[in-house]
Structure 1
Amino acid sequence: MPLHRASRQSPSRPLIAACLVAAGTAIAATAAVAGTVDVRFVAPEKYTDASYSSPVAGESDRAQVLRDIDQHLQRLASRGLAPTDNLKVEVLDVDLAGHFPPLGAGGSEVRVVTDVTGPRIRLRYNLMRDGAATVSGGEEVLSDLNFMVPSNRYSSGDRLRYEKVLLDRWFEKRFGSK
């Protein structure tokens, strides 16, 4: 009996293309499963404390904080909103955990976090379902006087670790999870 060797030909191009299309469709379908969140920052130049690195927030310092808040809200929405949900969030004020203690004329460039300098975020939100009906909305101040007591799942290197916990709790309380 003759031995047959398996052919080592590469898969056909149409097969590869079909696999790529199927993978792209699966990724697009997964992305379409979540609702959307539109985040707007109202008068950020007037925020109480929106800088990671200095007592007075410059435009680029503030932009980093706002970008991180927006990205976190996008992640929450991607995991927790129904496909037909559209959440509109207006961030009205941000006061990051900690403060910059004054040291001489120039001030301090080191943020000190103590149990009396907790984070605070004031926001207004509106959740719409199916593109029309408002399900819930309101204005809230998110804060936690015991922000240092419970364990925090975010790393100590995460500059927004305390504020993310506030947003997580607010999101879960208002919208639950899928």
Structure 2
Amino acid sequence: MRSVLACAVLMVLAFDSMAQGTPTAQVEVRFDHPEKFRDASLNSQSYERGADEQVMKALSAHLQKLGQRYLQPGQQLRIDIRDIDLAGRYEPWNSYAYDVRFMREITWPTIELNYTLSQPGKPDQQAQERVSDKMYLSRPGRQVSSSDRLFAEKAMLDDWFRQRFAPKPTS
């Protein structure tokens, strides 16, 4: 009985400290005119410009997950994505593979973005960047059998996020 009561008290105290305590890190992702993006659709039937919801949701969720991993409590990151060019290209002339995105050395992923990092007691940090990975096909440890159609873009964003926002080790 005592252990149940002690667990209940500890849970209430932990919940109360989380509700009052330290603010969590947060990532907000916005897409600036996605209908004009160069190549941000996983739908091979439409070869025109634009982004589809599947790509925008997957990249937003991935960036938010990276924020939970690398940002410090209280940090707020706003990312405005201005253009996306996914890795690979559809080759409609390949009649037996019309829905396959062919990965070539010259079709690396690129994402153009602006970001603003806000944190208590410090001025906002802002930058405009073009994130790309020209070596995406020769990455060590790349999962060739991955079923994730955005594996190259997510790996590229992993590296970029870690380099920009991961806490630096102290000496």
Pick one of 67, 72, 88 that aligns with 1:98. Answer: 88
Name 1:41's counterpart in structure 2.
Answer: 31
Any gaps of 5 or more consecutive residues in structure 1? Answer: 1-10
Amino acid at match of 1:128: S
Whether 1:128 and 2:118 are equivalent positions in the alignment is yes
Name 1:149's counterpart in structure 2.
Answer: 138
Where do 1:58-73 residues align within 5 Å?
62-73=52-63
Distance change (3 Å), C-alpha of 1:17 and 1:97: same
Distance change (3 Å), C-alpha of 1:15 and 1:173: same
Name 2:70's counterpart in structure 1.
Answer: 80
Amino acid at match of 2:129: E
Post-superposition offset of 1:151: 2.0
CA distance in 1, matches of 2:119, 2:89: 39
Name 1:137's counterpart in structure 2.
Answer: 126
Q: Which consecutive segments of 4 or more residues in structure 1 shift more than 3 A?
A: 14-17, 19-24, 152-155
The question of whether the paired residues in 2 share the 8 Å contact of 1:100 and 1:109 is answered with: yes
Name 2:156's counterpart in structure 1.
Answer: 166
Q: What is the root-mean-square deviation of aligned Cα atoms in Å?
A: 3.3
Structure 1, residues 103-144: CA drift from partner, whole Å, max 9, x if none? 289x9322111121111111100111117721x211111112
- With the length of structure 2 as denominator, give the TM-score of the two structures: 0.78
Greater CA radius of gyration, 1 or 2?
1
Structure 1, residues 77-111: CA drift from partner, whole Å, max 9, x if none? 00111111111100011111000112289x93221
Post-superposition offset of 1:68: 0.4
What SS does the corresponding residue of 1:157 show, helix, strand or coil? coil
The total of aligned residue pairs comes to 162
Structure 1, residues 40-72: CA drift from partner, whole Å, max 9, x if none? 0110111111112315279xx710000000000
Name 1:109's counterpart in structure 2.
Answer: 99
Name the stretch that deviates more: 43-52 or 33-42.
33-42
